[in-house]
Amino acid sequence: MELNELYELARELEAAGAEHYEEVCQQIYDYAELGEQEFQSSAYLKEQLEALGFTVTAPIGGLPTAFRAEYGSGHPKVAFLAEYDALPGYGPLKDQNGHACGHNWIAANTFGACDVLRQLYDRHHFTGTIVYMGCPAEEMLGGKVNMVDAGCFDDIDAAMQIHIAGGTETKLAGQSLAIDSVEFTYHGVSSHAAGAPERGVNALDACYLMFDGVNALRQHVTPDARIHGVITNGGLAPNVVPALASSRWFVRAADRKYLNELTQKVINCARGGAMMTGAEMEWRYFENSYDNMKLNRTLIDAMAECMKAAGVENINTAEEAPRGSSDVGNVAWVTPTIACNMGIGNTDGAECHEESFLCNVIGERGFAGLHKAVLSQAFLALRIFTDADMQKELAGQKQAILAERAAR
């Protein structure tokens, strides 16, 4: 069967399952569980996939809410990166969780793509393995980092994700910055700040001096680098020399190798604060370290064609300067990966993470975009499953990625 004929059959299957995919989107939205606490969400998704005949392995990656669901056998193995954690701080009292980043939408569009492909597989239109990868805690931890480190993506030939975005433009070549999340703690000696200041070792001063050092360092970093921190503990009373002070920092750069160097310079700034005050300093990574996104032009160009076929408009394939950070970047350093942002069509200026964006991840607008995302991913996966030349190209790219990763 020709590819265009497969696309038409996929459209019919997607339309038949549309209501189911919307139900999945709504259910995960209603659960609204935070990262590493998505017990209902992950259980529901596993149950839904098992009902379709997928073989589910759980937990994986050392994370209780991570799982892998497979259908088919052999290579190529195409993974769909599902997310399902919510964010805190919504509602009138700012005490409610909400899917303002649209991870419920991602969980559902990946589910729909896998269901469409499952039915095409059963009709013997391609061979290979469909992999629904349940990836928890993108917001709070970066669960994909744990999963990559545990080898969960080692056998994957290509991976994809479509993230919801505000506005009307769909961006396929957005980059992300590598990031290290570092906490510094200073231990000093408390004393009466007025009565016996000479007996004290001021941990807060050490913290301030670290900030001064980092501010000086900013003059000598590449334009893509970002260093930003907050003091999380600065003492308890003005008349007591602080014996404990701490700060947390995000250090970002467009290249992991350079970021490793930059993080060491930030650590040296922290050491300087300790040396100047006599305080003791310790540091640790308080969240997973993300790699920068490695763009894959083969998948970007193919996805652009697939999205057009799925009815997506205003598609931008130009490479953009990196801004934020994502744990999808770590996956991209193991296997060819595409992670793109689909504009949902709102014109009110609302963006992901904002409470005003919640209405876009469900309802008429959210569901309309959901179906286009399902088809876009199904179409791209069909190309990978049926095109031997593309399979060979991606296999070569994977080997090159792994070699480059090993050399960093």
pLDDT in tens, 164-194: 999 999 999 988 999 999 999 999 999 999 9
Q: Provide the pLDDT for residue 90.
A: 96
pLDDT digits (tens, 9 = 90+) for 204-225: 999 999 999 999 999 999 999 9
CATH number, domain with residue 236:
3.30.70.360
Are residues 365 and 353 part of one domain? yes
Tell whether 114 and 150 lie within a shared domain: yes
**pLDDT classification of 275: cutoffs 50, 70, 90:** very high
pLDDT digits (tens, 9 = 90+) for 61-90: 999 999 999 999 999 999 999 999 999 999
pLDDT tens by residue, 126-154: 999 999 999 999 998 999 999 999 999 99
Helices 388-407 and 297-309 sit at what angle, rounded to 10 degrees?
140
Residues 95 and 7 in one domain: yes
Q: What is the mean pLDDT of residues 375-386?
A: 98
Are 58 and 44 within 8 A, CB to CB? no
Question: Are 249 and 374 found together in one domain?
Answer: no
Residue 96: what pLDDT?
96
Range of the domain at 256: 178-285
Sign of CA dihedral 299, 304, 309, 311: positive
Cβ atoms of 278 and 313 closer than 8 Å: no
pLDDT value at 322 more than 90:
no
In this structure, are 280 and 329 located in the same domain? no
25-47 mean pLDDT? 98
Same domain, 252 and 318: no
- Residues 18 and 152 placed together within one structural domain of the fold: yes
Longest CA–CA span in the chain (Å) reads: 87
Whether 32 shows a pLDDT value over 90: the answer reads: yes
Cα–Cα dist 69/118, whole Å: 12
Q: In what order do the strands lie in the sheet with 170-171?
A: 55-57, 67-73, 128-134, 77-82, 158-165, 337-343, 170-171, 315-316
Domain final residue, candidates 246, 266, 285: 285
pLDDT at 320: 85
pLDDT(200) > 90: yes
Residue 379: the pLDDT is 98
Mean pLDDT, residues 295-321: 96
- As a whole number, the mean pLDDT across the chain is 97
Amino acid at 306: C
Q: What per-residue confidence (pLDDT) applies to 1?
A: 79
Helix axes 3-31, 363-386, angle to 10 degrees: 140
Per-residue confidence (pLDDT) for residue 140, from 0 to 100: 87
Question: Of 230, 253, 285, which marks where a domain is finished?
Answer: 285
pTM over 0.95: no
286 versus 408: which is more confidently predicted? 286
Share of residues in the chain with pLDDT > 70 (%): 100
Tens-place pLDDT, residues 83-131? 999 999 999 999 999 999 999 999 999 999 999 999 999 999 999 999 9
Half-sphere exposure in the Cβ direction for 278 (13 Å, CA) = 10
> Sorting pLDDT into bands at 50, 70 and 90, what band is 373?
very high
Count CA atoms within 13 Å of residue 174 on its CB side: 21
**Band of residue 353 on the pLDDT scale cut at 50, 70, 90:** very high
Q: Do 140 and 36 contact (CB within 8 A), yes or no?
A: yes
Model confidence at 393: pLDDT above 90: yes
pLDDT (0 to 100) of residue 324: 87
What is the mean pLDDT of the segment spanning 268-294? 97
Q: Are residues 212 and 312 in the same domain?
A: no
pLDDT value at 323 more than 90: no
Q: What is the pLDDT of residues 329-345, one digit of tens each?
A: 999 999 999 999 999 99
For residues 169 and 242, state if they share a domain.
no
- Assign residue 66 the CATH number of its domain: 3.40.630.10
- 285, 308, 339: which is the final residue of a domain? 285
Could you tell me if 392 and 361 lie in one domain? yes
Question: Would you say residue 33 has pLDDT above 90?
Answer: yes
Domains in the chain, number: 2
Verify that 155 and 10 share a domain, yes or no: yes
Judge if 148 and 66 occupy the same domain. yes
